[in-house]
RNA sequence: GCUGCUGUAGCUCAGUGGUAGAGCACUUCCUUGGUAAGGAAGAGGUCAUGGGUUCAAGUCCCAUCAGCAGCUCCA
């Protein structure tokens, strides 16, 4: 063995190379660099992999090594996972017989899944937190143990941890060696890495409790998941909790009620949105905006009904493929009566419906079948294509009750839908046109924070319709078009629609949830199912290709996301109430009414506050109701023919002639100016370290 | 759909098995004022719904409905 091979050789981030004797750990390296670094060291990165300080460095070839301190985003992830161990240890001490599942680091914190005889509630949090604080104060080190697979299985059996045993036998069966981490009496199967000791856990808090299926499988038992977070300092934790509070305040469900934008009523039904006058204005402005662009791009507006016969959806595939997520069909009254007469039970009825032996109507789950029938209503020539049919079409889907919430997941919603019937040579251009529209919409809202996802077929699933060849063509077309966007995009198998691949636009809301908004989908299958054709220049029939697209997704979801995006402060052109007139006292009401009439005649959405309140109180009310402009009118204004304009963002702008104020408002509306997008302070950076097997 | 929590005035929320509460909003009166809360009085309730326990239930138990968090799903 040469000298080089019997030594550890490392390269530090500054490029310098150092040698250490065999068996050296990352801690030894830190110590070799300096006592200060040794004291500050939390973990290390070796050749790009985050490891603990006790990691024994390999002999031979030099490795890149970086010591992590709490300033490094990856260190936060390591510490949080260690805190998850402390939490699990505390719960096991408080609850005998607790079975451990998984406890990874996630964005913003960590969780741990448990199987317990008696469920935990958040009333248990103080006791758990107190026990955790006690355990942290003991400052016992995290100690790594390596075991062979068989030893590990035996160990977990001895520890009475059946979930860990199962995981070792199934998920980790191909591993020869696995690792455990010990802290005091607590021993847990874990890949690591961990912080050296819990003294690094500066501040933590248990946040919530929820159910989660074992291994994410709906057919397995439900475990209890405890969510929590941890930071190196109390200040960071406080800031984090403050961000959560701030995010709650701009939740569209909260703002929607405060600002009177929409209402959901038990008597109408779950997930069915009632648009109030104010919310309707926002929606109508958006629809008008998109309609303008549709006209420019050569779309034809159509209207179709809310129901269609079952056969239509049998042909399209919606009824057989997605029965569970549809409202049950509406059945012909006489047919139903006749069946009842025969003593037909519900199960039989359901079978008859499936087999097509009785007919009925379905609340439409999608608009495409209706649009297809418009296409088919007359013979089509290649000269007519592309035919672009657009509709603000309302569709109904019976989403699982646990999924519903606010405007973002509902049972009835209106898509800004369109279907393009195109020749093969037009597909690429038309997809690009659709993407262009999406870009226009997002740019108009000042929405920069979205990502593009190309949804492909899951090769292992059989939920898709159509030939392999069609799918390959369509997927290639989507990839190609997405590449022209100039934004990085991800390819995600399993995210395709059942009839074709798609390009989705995904945004994040204020509490970190991701929502799919706009979508563009290429479809070779529905044209085939409906036997669509057009006459080509060769005077022979050809099959068109369909493109489904909805740049807003649905009006409901889009408005919900917009409420949060603007934190309820809409740009002037969208604001339900654009200008509010406030009188300084009742002496100025007559003049204010003249101004009000003038503003209204110019098309502004004006309201007035002529109450006998003091001006400060009226301003406060207007500000809380997020009115973009308040126009204050007092005796001085009546005298001079002016108004005093108060801008929600900038405050008092001073007195100006009525015409000047009007011009300002009209210009801002015409330009659809977006003046301010609400930003939440960014959280401290954390790299999520994969610390679960 | 699953697990857990919650449901009291329009809103935000107190409420110990024994007479239903507060703040804000609302109505009326007083106040007539210049850029984030002037004062007073009044009105407002089937304590989500349906059962049960109890002399007595907003409070304890069960079911249903709905909301929230998460899981699973999302054409």
How far is A377 from A387, CA to CA, in rounded Å? 13
How far is A618 from A248, CA to CA, in rounded Å? 26
Residues A111, A103 contacting (CB under 8 angstroms): yes
Distances (CA, A) of A530 to A312, A373, A382, A394: 9, 9, 18, 22
Residue A606 has phi, psi (to 5 degrees) of: -110, 145
pLDDT at A258: 94
**Token couple for A309:** 């016969």
Is any atom of nucleic acid chain B found less than 7 Å from the CB of residue A318? yes
**Please, which pLDDT band fits residue A316 given cuts at 50, 70 and 90?**
very high
Least confidently predicted of A42-46, A357-361, A434-438: A357-361
Please, where in chain A does CATH 3.30.930.10 lie?
Answer: 274-306+361-565
Distance A405 CA to B68 C1' (A): 9
Please, where in chain A does CATH 3.10.20.30 lie?
Answer: 7-69
- Average pLDDT, stretch A561-586? 95
Is any atom of nucleic acid chain B found less than 7 Å from the CB of residue A644? yes
Is any atom of nucleic acid chain B found less than 7 Å from the CB of residue A440? no
DSSP state of A25: B
Burial of A625 (0-12, 13-18, 19+ CB in 10 A): middle
Please, where in chain A does CATH 3.30.980.10 lie?
Answer: 74-247
Residue nearest to nucleotide B65 (CA to C1'): A266
How far is A163 from A183, CA to CA, in rounded Å? 20
Is any atom of nucleic acid chain B found less than 7 Å from the CB of residue A224? yes
Give the model confidence (pLDDT) of A642-662 as tens digits: 999 999 999 999 999 999 999
Chain A 372-411, CB < 7 Å to strand B: 397-406, 409
- Average pLDDT, stretch A362-379? 96
Is any atom of nucleic acid chain B found less than 7 Å from the CB of residue A119? yes
Residues A423, A386 contacting (CB under 8 angstroms): yes
Give the model confidence (pLDDT) of A669-691 as tens digits: 999 999 877 777 777 777 777 77
Distance A278 CA to B65 C1' (A): 29
What is the CATH number assigned to the segment(s) A579-670?
3.40.50.800
Exposure of A630 in the CB half-sphere (CA atoms within 13 A): 27
Residue from A225, A229, A259 nearest A242 by CA: A229
* DSSP bridge partners of A451: A506
Please, where in chain A does CATH 3.40.50.800 lie?
Answer: 579-670
Residues A129, A91 contacting (CB under 8 angstroms): no
- CATH code 1.20.1260.10 for A7-69: no
- Average pLDDT, stretch A348-359? 77
pLDDT at A122: 83
pLDDT tops 60 at residue A3: no
Residue nearest to nucleotide B2 (CA to C1'): A222
Output the DSSP codes for A503-571: EEEEEE-TTS-EEEEEEEEEESHHHHHTT--EE-TTSSEE--EEEEEETTSBHHHHHHHHHHHTTT---
How far is A466 from A471, CA to CA, in rounded Å? 7
* DSSP bridge partners of A450: A507
Is any atom of nucleic acid chain B found less than 7 Å from the CB of residue A584? yes
Distances (CA, A) of A104 to A49, A70, A80, A360: 17, 19, 9, 49
pLDDT tops 50 at residue A298: yes
Residue A634: alpha-carbon gap to chain centroid: 48
DSSP state of A473: H
- Average pLDDT, stretch A526-536? 95
How far is A598 from A49, CA to CA, in rounded Å? 68
Average pLDDT over all residues of chain A: 90
Report ipTM for this prediction. Answer: 0.94
Residues A118, A95 contacting (CB under 8 angstroms): yes
Distance A262 CA to B62 C1' (A): 35
**How would you label A500-521 residue by residue, b for 16+ Cβ within 10 Å and e otherwise?**
bbbbbbbbebbeeeebbbbbbb
What are the DSSP E strand ranges found in A374-513?
A: 387-396, 412-422, 450-456, 489-493, 502-508
Residue from A517, A386, A378 nearest A449 by CA: A517
pLDDT tops 60 at residue A566: yes
- CATH code 3.90.1150.10 for A274-306+361-565: no
pLDDT tops 60 at residue A443: yes
3-state secondary structure of A9: strand
* DSSP bridge partners of A230: A204
Helical H runs in A170-303?
Answer: 234-249, 252-258, 277-296
DSSP state of A586: G
Residue A668 has phi, psi (to 5 degrees) of: -65, -35
pLDDT tops 50 at residue A1: no
Nucleotides of B under 7 A from a protein CB: 1-5, 11-12, 30-38, 65-75
Give the model confidence (pLDDT) of A604-655 as tens digits: 999 999 998 999 999 999 999 999 999 999 999 999 999 999 999 999 999 9
Dihedral angle at the C-alpha atoms of A585, A588, A592, A595, nearest 10 degrees?
-140
What is the CATH number assigned to the segment(s) A74-247?
3.30.980.10
């Amino acid at each position: 063995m040469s000298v080089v091979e019997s030594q550890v050789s490392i390269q530090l981030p500054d490029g310098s190379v150092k040698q250490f004797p065999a068996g050296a750990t990352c801690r030894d390296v830190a110590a070799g660099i300096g006592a200060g670094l040794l004291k500050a060291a939390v973990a290390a990165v070796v050749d790009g992999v985050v490891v603990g300080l006790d990691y024994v460095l390999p002999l031979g070839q030099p490795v890149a090594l970086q010591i992590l301190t709490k300033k490094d985003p990856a260190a936060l992830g390591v510490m949080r996972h260690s805190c998850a161990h402390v939490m699990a240890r505390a719960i096991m001490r408080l609850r005998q017989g607790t079975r451990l599942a998984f406890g990874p680091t996630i964005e913003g914190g960590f969780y741990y899944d448990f199987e317990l005889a008696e469920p935990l509630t958040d009333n248990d949090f103080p006791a758990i937190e107190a026990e955790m604080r006690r355990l942290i104060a003991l400052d016992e080190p995290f100690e790594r143990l390596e075991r062979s697979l068989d030893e590990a299985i035996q160990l977990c059996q001895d520890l009475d941890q059946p979930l860990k045993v199962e995981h070792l036998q199934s998920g980790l069966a191909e591993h020869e060696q696995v690792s455990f981490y010990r802290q005091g009496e607590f021993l847990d199967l874990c890949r690591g890495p961990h912080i050296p000791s819990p003294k690094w856990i500066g501040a933590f808090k248990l946040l919530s409790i929820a159910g989660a299926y074992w291994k994410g499988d709906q057919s397995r038992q439900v475990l209890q998941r405890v969510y929590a977070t941890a930071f190196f300092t109390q200040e960071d934790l406080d800031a984090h909790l403050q961000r959560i509070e701030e995010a709650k305040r701009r939740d569209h469900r909260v703002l929607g009620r405060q600002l009177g934008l929409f209402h959901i009523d038990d008597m109408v039904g779950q997930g069915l949105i009632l648009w109030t006058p104010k919310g309707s204005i926002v929606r109508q402005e958006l629809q008008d905006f998109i309609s303008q662009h549709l006209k420019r791009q050569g779309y034809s507006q159509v209207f179709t009904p809310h129901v269609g016969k079952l056969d239509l959806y049998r042909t399209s595939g919606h009824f057989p493929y997605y029965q569970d997520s549809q409202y049950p069909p509406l059945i012909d009254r006489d047919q139903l009566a006749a069946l009842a007469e025969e003593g037909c039970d519900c199960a039989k009825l359901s079978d008859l419906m499936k087999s097509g032996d009785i007919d009925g109507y379905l609340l439409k789950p999608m608009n495409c079948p209706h649009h297809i029938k418009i296409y088919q209503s007359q013979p089509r020539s290649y000269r007519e294509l592309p035919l672009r049919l657009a509709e603000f079409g309302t569709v109904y889907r019976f989403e699982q009750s646990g999924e519903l919430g606010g405007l973002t997941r509902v049972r009835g919603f209106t898509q800004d839908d369109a279907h393009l019937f195109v020749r093969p040579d037009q597909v690429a251009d038309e997809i690009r046109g659709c993407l262009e529209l999406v870009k226009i919409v997002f740019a108009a809202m000042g929405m920069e924070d979205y990502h593009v996802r190309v949804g492909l077929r899951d090769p292992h699933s059989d939920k898709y319709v159509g030939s392999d060849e069609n799918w390959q063509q369509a997927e290639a077309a989507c990839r190609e078009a997405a590449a022209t966007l100039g934004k990085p995009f991800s390819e995600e198998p399993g995210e395709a629609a059942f009839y074709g691949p798609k390009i989705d636009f995904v945004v994040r809301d204020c509490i970190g949830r991701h929502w799919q908004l706009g979508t563009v989908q290429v479809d070779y299958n529905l044209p085939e199912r409906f036997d669509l054709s057009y006459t080509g220049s060769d005077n022979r029939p050809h099959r068109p290709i369909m493109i489904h697209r909805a740049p807003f997704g649905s009006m409901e979801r889009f408005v919900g996301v917009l409420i949060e995006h603007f934190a309820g402060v809409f740009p002037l052109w969208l604001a339900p109430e654009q200008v509010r007139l406030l009188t300084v006292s009742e002496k100025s009401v007559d003049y204010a009414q003249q101004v009000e009439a003038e503003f209204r005649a110019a098309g502004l959405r004006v309201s007035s506050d002529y109450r006998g309140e003091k001006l400060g109180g009226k301003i406060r009310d207007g500000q809380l109701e997020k009115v973009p402009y308040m126009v204050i009118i007092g005796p001085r204004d009546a005298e001079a023919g002016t108004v005093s304009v108060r801008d929600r963002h900038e405050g008092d702008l001073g007195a100006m002639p009525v015409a000047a104020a009007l011009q300002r408002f009209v210009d801002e509306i015409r330009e659809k100016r977006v003046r301010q997008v609400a930003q939440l302070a960014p959280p401290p950076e954390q790299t999520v370290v994969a610390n679960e097997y």
